[in-house]
Amino acid sequence: MEFIVPQFIERETKIVGPFTFKQSIFLGIAGALALFLYFVIKSFWIFLIVAFFLIGGALLLTFLKFGGSSLPDVLKNFFVFFSRPKVYLWHRKAITPKILKKAPPPKEEAKEESILKIAEKSSLGKLHAILESKTK
């Protein structure tokens, strides 16, 4: 039995034309504020300067991405990071040490009876230390 695996699940759905809901909200609010400022500000040149920055900011919020994440997400993470406290303290816990009892030495007879022999530590560690400490 074959199953269809959904693809592109990390993409937001397009609501208004080629824009997602958040993108359309940013552009709509900037357009509405620019229209409101057109009737409020008497000087046309001041209106153009203010509208340029307002619409430019909306376009940055809409289309600019840093490392795959949008500018609103980056700004949210920035403010969350700087609003939380960053004092990390390590307090040592008072733990009473446990006294380990030494195991009784193995019997001599058991060593002589075992067929397996335990080899000494290999010299691989010594070789590594020699190669690492060797200077040119």
What would the pLDDT profile of 108-118 be if each residue is shown by its tens digit? 655 555 666 66
**Contact of 32 with 11, CB cutoff 8 Å:** no
29, amino acid identity: I
- Residue bearing the bigger pLDDT, 96 or 66: 66
> In terms of C-beta density within 10 A (0-12 exposed, 13-18 middle, 19 or more buried), how is residue 23 classed?
buried
Instruction: Give the containing element (helix H, strand E) for 126.
Output: helix 124-133
**Is-above-0.75 flag for pTM?**
no
How far is 54 from 80, CA to CA, in rounded Å? 24
Q: With bands split at pLDDT 50, 70 and 90, how would you rate the model's confidence at 136?
A: very low
